[in-house]
Amino acid sequence: MSKENQLFLVGEDNQLSKSIIELMNTSYEVIYIEEDSWSTDLRKYEPTIVIVYQGESESPVGLIKDIQAEFSNVLTIYVHSEENFDLLRDVTRAGAEDFIILPDEGGAFKERVAHLMEDRFSFSETAATGVHKRGNGQIFSFYSGKGGSGKTLLSTTFAQTLKFESTAQVIHIDFNFQYGGAETYLGIETTRSLIDLQPVINELNEHHIKNISETEPFSKLEVLISPRDAEMGEKIDQDFVIRLLRACKRHYDFIVLDLPSSMDLTTYTALEESDRIYYIMTLDTPAIRVLKHVEELINRLGAQTSEKLELLVNLAGRDNELTKKDLDRFIDRPITAEIRRDIKGVQAAINQGQPLRKEIKEKRLPAPAKDIQKWVASMLK
Ligand SMILES: Nc1ncnc2c1ncn2[C@@H]1O[C@H](COP(=O)(O)OP(=O)(O)OP(=O)(O)O)[C@@H](O)[C@H]1O
Ligand SMILES: [Mg+2]
């Protein structure tokens, strides 16, 4: 049988392994590998998908990490008997592609395996041609505890700029589920929104995302628009966020998040999943006070999240209350970039319903767009 038809099961011989084998062996050659000797036994094959499942040992995280470390091209799926958000988070963080609940999701399980196989084999074709490397996208979040500090303007312009300045696959996601905002800055009108992914969230793949996303016409940046509806926004939970971000990491190089100032579970989750958090700071004392508050909350998420936070100074200009030097004195965080204020330039674009960036080489860019261009260029180097 070909590799595309082999599934590997690593763990102890228990009820769950029996059900998995029974479920999958009509479509796949299921090869059971004992947990104690997996490292040598798996080597005899060229595994594509390895299934790890609930057993006696307390946490599967170590095993998943070890398998990922030894077989960098393998996709792991974890199977559990019940919903468990903390475990879902831990195993996805350890590198698992998917978290399946059996027997509840028995029906969807096969479909998800088929999708992953398809993904992996189309991936190796593109990898072989050297066109594009996928599978490990980076998440950049734009956040501030203070409303109106420029999260939406800067995140959209940053995402556009990444797209203009590289050949990377970039997607912008608006996490302001109630009110939205990004669509206005990007000049996009649509009735589609990321809530349309809800029915397929458990088997989310590139095609689903591309069907729902909009393309910003100038930069060809892909964007997932907010539902802009309180009731619908409430349907989006941590599980949705993790699955969406995981799928985006598989298919995009850069995922740019515009987060709301309010701290709820979805914002927390997004911050935890981020590779970098750009905290937008204005040069005034209230902004420092809010940041101190946010730092307390973020520290509760653990050192790992806190370390990812960098400052992005916005609305810099002549009449700021504080200087960058003052910030350095009060806050022990690196300042990644400084974005100037340009009320006229920004207003002109927004009034025309157009984004700040329109082409790769533009002579008369508003100051914030210029500063972001400089920053992104040095980042991509
Ligand atoms: N560097 C800048 N120069 C000029 N105007 C700016 C700049 N940054 C932000 N603005 C303006 O400030 C206002 C707030 O910006 P924006 O909507 O991006 O903030 P936000 O943090 O997303 O707000 P909210 O918390 O409401 O989502 C907008 O009118 C925007 O055009
Ligand atoms: Mg906003």
pLDDT tens readout for residues 314-340: 999 999 999 999 998 999 999 999 999
Same structural domain, 320 and 221: yes
Same structural domain, 107 and 202: no
| CA 372–ligand 1 middle distance (angstroms) | 14
Q: What angle do CA 289, 291, 293 make, to 5 degrees?
A: 75
Same structural domain, 325 and 367: yes
Torsion sign over Cα 358, 361, 362, 365? positive
Instruction: Judge if the beta carbon of residue 353 lies within 6 A of ligand 1.
Output: no
Instruction: Judge if the beta carbon of residue 317 lies within 6 A of ligand 1.
Output: no
Cβ density class 65-101: b for 16+ within 10 Å, e for less: bebbeebeebbbbbbbeeeeeebbbbbbbbbbbbbbb
Q: Are 271 and 305 in contact (CB under 8 A)?
A: yes
Same structural domain, 304 and 216: yes
Pocket test for ligand 1, best of 141, 152, 319 (most atoms within 8 A of CB): 152
Q: Give pLDDT, residue 108.
A: 83
Q: Whose CA is nearest to atom 10 of ligand 1?
A: 150
Instruction: Judge if the beta carbon of residue 148 lies within 6 A of ligand 1.
Output: yes
Q: Is pLDDT at 1 greater than 80 in this prediction?
A: no
224: containing domain: 138-380
Q: Are 140 and 273 in contact (CB under 8 A)?
A: no
For residue 207, the domain's CATH number is 3.40.50.300
Q: Rounded to whole angstroms, how far apart are CA atoms 365 and 355?
A: 11
Q: Is pLDDT at 284 greater than 60 in this prediction?
A: yes
Q: Give pLDDT, residue 133.
A: 39
Same structural domain, 250 and 317: yes
Same structural domain, 274 and 192: yes
Which of 77, 103, 129 delimits the end of a domain?
129
Q: Give pLDDT, residue 73.
A: 84
Q: Give pLDDT, residue 308.
A: 95
Peptide bond into 103 cis (omega under 30): yes
Q: Whose CA is nearest to atom 15 of ligand 1?
A: 150
For residue 81, the domain's CATH number is 3.40.50.2300
Report the atom number in ligand 1 closest to the C-alpha of 347: 31
Which residues lie near ion ligand 2 (Cβ < 5 Å)? 151-152, 181
Q: Give pLDDT, residue 173.
A: 98
Which residues does 370 contact at the CB level (< 8 Å), separation at least 6? none
Same structural domain, 110 and 238: no
How large a percentage of the chain has pLDDT more than 90?
Answer: 71
Pocket test for ligand 1, best of 263, 346, 371 (most atoms within 8 A of CB): 346
- Which ligand number lies closest to the CA of residue 151? 1
Q: Is pLDDT at 126 greater than 50 in this prediction?
A: no
Tens digit of each residue's pLDDT (9 = 90 or more) over 31-87: 999 998 998 999 899 899 999 999 988 789 999 999 988 888 899 999 999 988 888
Which residues does 58 contact at the CB level (< 8 Å), separation at least 6? none
Same structural domain, 115 and 260: no
Q: Give pLDDT, residue 135.
A: 56
Same structural domain, 199 and 124: no
Q: Rounded to whole angstroms, how far apart are CA atoms 174 and 225?
A: 6
How large a percentage of the chain has pLDDT more than 70?
Answer: 96
**Count of alpha carbons within 13 angstroms of residue 32, beta-carbon side:** 15
Mean pLDDT taken over the chain: 91
Which of 96, 129, 162 delimits the end of a domain?
129
Report the atom number in ligand 1 closest to the C-alpha of 179: 27
Pocket test for ligand 1, best of 153, 259, 291, 294 (most atoms within 8 A of CB): 153
Same structural domain, 93 and 208: no
Q: Can you read off the two tokens belonging to residue 267?
A: 């914002």
Q: What type of residue sits at position 120?
A: R
* DSSP string for residues in 344-356: HHHHHHHHTT--S
Q: Whose CA is nearest to atom 11 of ligand 1?
A: 150
Q: Is pLDDT at 262 greater than 80 in this prediction?
A: yes
Task: Report how far apart, in Å, the C-alpha atoms of 330 and of each of 178, 221, 337 are.
Answer: 34, 37, 17
Question: What is the SS3 assignment for 234?
Answer: helix
Beta bridge partners of residue 215, listed in sequence order? 222
Which of 111, 129, 147 delimits the end of a domain?
129
Q: Give pLDDT, residue 122.
A: 64
Report the atom number in ligand 1 closest to the C-alpha of 155: 18
Beta bridge partners of residue 212, listed in sequence order? none
Confidence of residue 130 (pLDDT cuts 50, 70, 90): very low
Question: Phi and psi of 316, rounded to 5°?
Answer: -70, 140
Task: Report how far apart, in Å, the C-alpha atoms of 344 and of each of 157, 187, 317, 318, 362 are.
Answer: 16, 18, 13, 15, 17
In total, how many domains does the chain have?
2
- Which ligand number lies closest to the CA of residue 312? 1
Q: Are 165 and 377 in contact (CB under 8 A)?
A: yes
Q: Rounded to whole angstroms, how far apart are CA atoms 86 and 91?
A: 9
Report the atom number in ligand 1 closest to the C-alpha of 314: 1
Confidence of residue 115 (pLDDT cuts 50, 70, 90): confident
Tens digit of each residue's pLDDT (9 = 90 or more) over 168-184: 999 999 999 999 999 99
Is the pTM of the predicted complex or chain greater than 0.85? no
Q: Whose CA is nearest to atom 23 of ligand 1?
A: 148
Rounded to 5, what percent of the chain is helix, strand, coil? 50, 20, 35
